[in-house]
Structure 1
């Protein structure tokens, strides 16, 4: 078992965090100033785990921003005098009292990272300061089991997928460093953030205070235990979904391992979350699911969700057991050069083989409880999308709205979405297109093959004519009975509405 951290959790004292925030603001410790300080290439290299380019770029710089960059962004010891000059309000004693550093001789030794994290949401562009445990680069080795992760790829993915709705109450289950709770707090009256790790909650509370966010309540406990009997309009979770062998010698990292076998944690979440949703409430999470015993992971996942709930699952990738094991062993800071790598790989592969696992999917899950009295057919959608996506939260929100609109039939008027373009492919010497494609520029970037009739329908959807007026004109043009044309077009029009290529008119 990997050892736990040998440093205490932060102590988020209100006065000290306010002083730290003032010092960071005065030093302009933000993404763009840091990027200008050490250069774009060096900044990009840090994201890949290399800090040497930054150190070379600021080797002779003893200014305040360079000092704080080395101390807090890179996690490197700095001279006490330089840190005192860089943090005049907080001071070195205050930094130590917050649990973010210790003293050793004439140096200040950081015990945590503190990095600026920019974001973009429906309300605009902003930036948080986010504190977390020292990473494997700063530690120069594997992570402790109780490591509190900063803002990683999964955190950013979940943030991009959350439907941008204004809500009264929200829940961030498994908050970690608190980034999701901070983001949701911008559109929720109140947020409850939970975690099984007291260390994680200390970081999350520190980050909320550091950024002046006051509408988050922090609670310790596993899964939904801390909110028993309560209901929320929005639940978000980047839970510890990583599938880890339950054998001696395999580290169970709190930030990614929920302590259950296989994908049981994701199953537990999707089975339980609906009980904690208000009518029309939404739950969203990232997760892994296993294909095993001849049953695809998406099929297994759909079976976990009650049939009266809306369900939308998007699988972004699927890995073999070998690729999955290597990914997460490396994530913990162990590489093939380390003696521990082969035993860990063996444990993972043995576990998957014993349980008949053939593949592991990763993606987004959205659940929605129907509104009171809503007897419409529930949304049940599972799909694989491998292409690059953008503005996913808005696309999911539009998809839910489209599903609701279609419950009452095809809308009277439709408009082609502004990001949709048409491409026509011709064989040499042929005036008629052999392929007509509709391409979606944003969201899920779908490409849909259409025939001339459907292409003509979409081209006429500018909001001026009704759906049936367009259909009647096409029936005349192609010299076919309207009812026959409509029977052919209607299900494909519905599909284009569901996918966001056509949107209801005003």
Structure 2
């Protein structure tokens, strides 16, 4: 095996775990070590300030400063400093695990250099706060060059996004499709009794196994294979995936990075995942993943995604909630992912790759590429109750609570589909505590020209409303049913009650679904089965 892939030796890994803990190798400790300005520079991809902040600690043999310099900044340190930072594992143990390499002859080594990236990762979910150490390949900053095609990525922006939207309901089984370094499998292991993690990359699986062992997570099984091949005939309660969805030209000379490129043309990898999950979900099971989808010619938003889902009345059809968070034109998309691979703008290589991307898009008449979240559910009774497609801007949203928000939306969608307008009129609603109302006036005017409801949690939505709906929401304090409020408003506004009801009830349903209104008596974790 390559020396730059960590070994899964239980004894040595246990020693490493103890040394990392003793050194307080945590996110908070690193932030304190670097300081605010150096941390910000490091986030921008500049490590000089962080190196300088840690330098005195390295000279003094401070374990935190040494570990940070080697495994986060990717810089060499003296063999003596490394030995002091890993007193239980030792330098020889770190070499044997594949963490470091010695410079010169091992017996006379005066310096060591990192072979992998190893850093703390902090998180919080419904089960509480936690922290792991995550190993991956050294990044571009440490390598000083473009990434290798079999690069194993650590915890990046997409990883954080997927973990933030993950529904945490307790389940028996979960599948992490395309696990990479194993970060989503680790998250899933907190709410699933058993997790299967797959990847087409053996190097990625070795990192995943190492990370599970290092963090003492025993309930993950790692399997090699493409897409659903390693789990043929198996079904799961929860499927998560950060698939290699990046659209890459299939021409010679364009790097195909395993961590982001699924080897298929255009957005077919996302199509394959979306079409395949239905055969691997238990009744009531949920699949969540990230993805790109192409806009061809004058196609409207989500035309392709709807086609992948199929007819909602066909056997095995899935509930779906698709949220587009970003839309890029073809040149923007190409530039984003060429930079991601480590090629700098303004160079001949950058221009050559841009031409390849734009030629590929032009061949399929691709004008835009959307990015977003896919949440699918296999209805327990086989009847589809939710097909929702929407674009939600990235600004002003609250990613951290989206797992709970999405779970609630699935349950509310099912409940709302079971309630007709007459029954809805008998329901008592509460305005959610994170909802505020905006009113804008022309100077000197008595009546507002703009009314809007603003959501503090969830997707941070801003919904335009009129006087009638504002009055209804304002009266939703849990005392009166919706129908009674509508009747009172009709009298106050001197309008026909039936017409007002027909106007506001569809919007009441929408406000309930997005979390601005809550049915009184809502069951645990967003279930509406207890609502009247």
Q: TM-score range by the shorter chain?
A: over 0.9
User: Is 1:305–2:309 an aligned residue pair?
Assistant: yes
TM-score normalised by structure 1 residue count: 0.96
State how 1:55-74 maps to structure 2 within 5 Å. 55-62=51-58, 63-74=62-73
**Separation in 2, partners of 1:117, 1:45:** 19
Match in the other structure for 1:184: 188
**RCO greater where, 1 or 2, for CA within 8 Å and sep 6 or more?**
1
1:316: which partner in 2?
Answer: 325
**Structure 2 gap segments, 5+ residues each:** 105-109, 522-532
Corresponding residue number in structure 2 for 1:85: 84
CA drift at 1:100: 1.4
Identify which range, 261-270 or 473-482, moves more after superposition.
473-482
| Structure 1 residue 464 corresponds to structure 2 residue 479 | yes
Shift of 1:465: 1.6
Matched, 1:383 2:390: yes
Within the candidate set 393, 399, 414, 1:404 is matched to 414
Q: What is the number of residues matched between the two proteins?
A: 500
Normalization by structure 2: what TM-score? 0.91
Contact 2:54 2:69 in 1 (8 A): no
| Whole-Å separation in 2 of the counterparts to 1:350 and 1:296 | 22
Secondary structure in structure 1 of the residue aligned to 2:135: strand
CA distance in 1 between partners of 2:153 and 2:290 (Å) = 16
When residues 297 and 143 of structure 1 are mapped into structure 2, their CA distance, relative to the original with a 3 A threshold, is farther
Asked whether the 8 Å contact 2:335–2:354 carries over to 1, the reply is yes
5+ long unaligned stretches in structure 1: none
Q: 2: CA distance between counterparts of 1:318 and 1:92? A: 48
Greater displacement, 185-194 / 387-396: 387-396
202, 215, 218: which one pairs with 1:214? 218
CA distance in 2: counterparts of 1:436 and 1:53, whole angstroms: 48
Give the equivalent residue in structure 1 for 2:513: 498
Cα deviation digits, residues 355-414 of structure 1 (max 9, x gap): 211111111111111112x53x53111111113321222221121121112122237111
Q: 1:144–1:253: 8 Å Cα contact kept in structure 2?
A: yes
- The aligned runs of 1:107-506 (5 Å cut-off) are 107-296=111-300, 298-306=302-310, 307=312, 308-372=317-381, 374-375=382-383, 377-386=384-393, 387-390=395-398, 391-409=401-419, 410=424, 412-506=427-521
Task: Measure how far apart 1:338 and its partner are.
Answer: 3.9
Partner SS, residue 55 of structure 1: helix
CA contact (8 A) 2:175 2:195 kept: yes
Distance 1:489 1:336 in 2: 52
1:30 aligns with 2:26: yes
CA contact (8 A) 1:290 1:297 kept: no
The alpha carbon displacement at 1:464 in A equals 1.7
Any idea what SS the aligned residue of 1:367 has? strand
